[in-house]
Every structure is written in structure tokens, then in C-alpha cells.
Amino acid sequence: MAQQWTIGRAVTELTAAFSAAGLDTPRLDARILVGHAVNLEPSLLFARADRILTDAESVLVRDFAARRQQHEPVSRITGHRGFWSLDFLLSPDTLDPRADTETLVAAVLERRAQYPSPRILDLGTGTGCILLAILKDWPEATGIGIDLNPGAVEMAARNAARLGLASRTDFRVGNWCDGVTEKLDIIVSNPPYITDSEMDALAPTVARFDPALALRGGADGLGAYRALIPAARAVLADGGRLFLEIGAAQTADVAALLQNNDFGPEVAHRDLAGFVRCLEAVTV
């Protein structure tokens, strides 16, 4: 690579390197990473294409490029991920939020008219993105986020503070609903649901960089559901609702677990690709 880079030259060379590495969006990745290194929005890079990078910026760009060529996600490199039009900090302790999970948020928000000032519990909260996205669009709601990983709980609390939602949230370290004594109106969860055999086939961007604790669902991918569904039922108020993200081909199995734990008929919510991504069930 060139000894002295301009912004434009850096974007061009990173694009070529990422393309050679077989990355799906080489130019977009290059623009984001160069922009992050020079503290400019990617949309502003073209107008500053002739600006020469400082030595420190060049070191950052080279580091970012090397990490991306090893398939580290751009969001992991920058430490940020956009979700539900909000910006969330990431850490190695948290799952990188996916756009598919916005299906869960949308499903919960469809119930706003039924709960004037709900208490919401987010199990396996990670970055806090699900709970915080819901609270941002539901000013009357308050919530609890629980995660087994202390680092994830710390990150969720930081995200709540950055989004101005700290006063409406309580993030705790815990195992599912252990220690929850109040009755909740809504419980949401994106639990680990990847089967052991699927874990071996995950893309490098997931397998190397997302925490296994947030992915691994056991031999059949249903281990977390078997634990959390009865736990959630015990702390939901009468008429309360449980919203679960599910994996491909898990609809029938998770529906059976819901029915076996005194939940009423489930409602299936599909993602933008048309796959069932979320099951909603009410207590009976």
C-alpha cells in the first residue's frame, strides 16, 4: 500500500483488498472503516478525498484492513451497530444485533394499545437493543434486562445511558428469571437457538466473533426455550405476553413448548424475507 495515503486512495486500496478477500461489500466496508479512522461520516469522504491521512490515521486504517480481511465484522471493528434506527455499542460479551431481530421489536410495539404503562422484561439482553428500542418508541413503558454475562449487562447499561433511557431501565446479572419477584406484562427474548451441528457450519463472522453463550442452543437448539418458557410463565401477569425470536424450522417445537406451559395460541410474526422469526403467546 502507498506510503502516504489520501482518503480517496485509502478507500480505493481497501476496496481492492477486500474484494480480493472475497468480502461481500468491499467498497462499503472500506468507506465505513476509513471514515471511522479519520472521524468522518462515510458520506463526507468524497468531498475530502484529497486530504492526506496522518501517521496515526494510517496506522488505524491498516489495522482495520487487516482485521476485516480476517472476516471480523465491520461493526466489531468500529464497536457500533445500528439497530431500529438507534446506535448501539458492542463488546466481545454481546451478540452483534441482526436486522431480523427488529421483527421482535415490531411485534411488541403492535400491542401498545393494550398495555397503558407496561413492565417489560428482556431475557438475555446482550447490548440491550431489544428492550431499549421498544422503550424508545413506547414512552410509558419501563423495563428490566437480564443477562448471564456481566460484561453484557455493563454494555446494556451504557447503551441505556447513551440513549437517555437509564431512568426507565434496570439491568441485572442473572439466569433467566431467577430473582424476579414482580409480575411482568411483557417478556421478550432472543435466546441462543443454534444447534450443535449448526455451530460447526457458522460463517467466520459469527463463529469467531459472537459469544458462543449467546448462540449455542444445545443438540436440538431448544435448550434455552425449555428453561425460559416455564420461568417466564411464572412471572408474567394474567394476560401477559411472551415474545420469542426463533430459528428456522423451530416454529412447531417452540409452539408446543408454549402450549405445554399454559400459554394460549401463538401468533407468528414473519421477517422481511417471509420466514417466521418471532412467536408471540399470551398467558391463559
Sheet holding 169-173, edge to edge: 169-173, 142-147, 119-123, 184-189, 236-245, 276-282, 267-270
**pLDDT of the residue at 196:** 80
Clarify whether residues 91 and 57 are in a common domain: no
Residues 36 and 146 grouped into a single domain: no
Residues 242 and 278 placed together within one structural domain of the fold: yes
Cα–Cα dist 284/279, whole Å: 16
CA 202 to chain centre: 17
What distance in Å separates the CA atoms of residue 38 and residue 61, rounded to the nearest whole number? Answer: 9
Residue 1's pLDDT is 44
Residues 117 and 223 in one domain: yes
Q: Both 168 and 276 in a single domain?
A: yes
Cell numbers at 221, concatenated: 437448539
- Domain-located, residue 1: no
Do the domain assignments include residue 2? Answer: no
Last residue of a domain, one of 70, 96, 122: 70
152 and 210 fall within a common domain = yes
What's the pTM? 0.90
Are 27 and 153 in the same domain? no
The answer to whether residue 40 is domain-embedded is yes
Indicate if 98 and 238 belong to the same structural domain: yes
What pLDDT score does 3 carry?
A: 59
* Predicted pLDDT at 204: 78
| Statement to judge: residues 64 and 113 lie in one domain | no
Residue 164 maps to a domain = yes
Q: How many domains does the chain have?
A: 2
Q: What is the CATH number of the domain that holds 207?
A: 3.40.50.150
39 with 103, same domain: the answer is no
| Mean pLDDT, contiguous 10-residue spans, the chain (284 residues) | 78 94 93 94 90 93 94 92 94 90 96 94 95 97 95 96 96 93 95 84 80 81 92 94 92 92 88 90 91
Residue that terminates a domain, selected from 16, 38, 70 = 70
In a domain, 61, yes or no: yes
Show the domain range for 22. 7-70
